[in-house]
Amino acid sequence: AQKVTQAQTEISVVEKEDVTLDCVYETRDTTYYLFWYKQPPSGELVFLIRRNSFDEQNEISGRYSWNFQKSTSSFNFTITASQVVDSAVYFCALSEAIAGGTSYGKLTFGQGTILTVHP
């Protein structure tokens, strides 16, 4: 069975600090996708990034960057120069191939990390 662990329950930082959110996953599949979602106080999950298990290249998008390391089954997320608007719950999620391996289905989520950025 697949599993996603976000060991950090809550993180509190001061604005402009860098912060890294950890994600460790377990799966028996060789092909899978990893995701990060943000859930602000309004409650709606907002898609941030998707990463294919075959693509270990790190990615940077503005103040966000992601570090995928298959060897340690980790997919960590860093926010550089954090802002108050980054305050939210962040979820890491994993999807596995549906039978046949041609597409991907349900997501398995971690428990989330509550990030609070203080002014």
Partner 1 sequence: DTGVSQDPRHKITKRGQNVTFRCDPISEHNRLYWYRQTLGQGPEFLTYFQNEAQLEKSRLLSDRFSAERPKGSFSTLEIQRTEQGDSAMYLCASSLSSRTDTQYFGPGTRLTVL
Considering the complex, what minimum distance in angstroms separates the CB of residue 9 from partner 1? Answer: 9
Kindly state whether residue 64 participates in binding partner 1, applying the rule CB under 8 A: no
Alpha carbon 12 to chain centroid distance?
A: 17
108 binds partner 1 (CB under 8 A): yes
70-71-75 Cα angle (round to 5): 40
- From candidates 33, 64, 78, 80, binder to partner 1 by CB under 8 A: 33
Number of residues that bind partner 1 (CB under 8 A): 26
Determine the Cα–Cα distance for residues 56 and 48; give it in Å rounded to an integer: 17
Rounded Cα distance, 57 and 6, in Å: 21
Maximum CA extent, the chain: 49
Q: What is the DSSP letter of 102?
A: S
Contact pick of 68, 95, 115, 117 for partner 1 (by CB under 8 A) = 95
Rank residues 72 and 102 by Cβ distance to partner 1 and give the closer one. Answer: 102
Q: Is 35 one of the binding residues for partner 1 (CB under 8 A)?
A: yes
Place of tokens 């898609």: 47
| Residue nearer to partner 1 on the CB measure, 4 or 117 | 4
Interacting residues toward partner 1 by CB under 8 A = 4, 33, 35, 37, 42-47, 50, 52, 91, 93, 95, 102-112
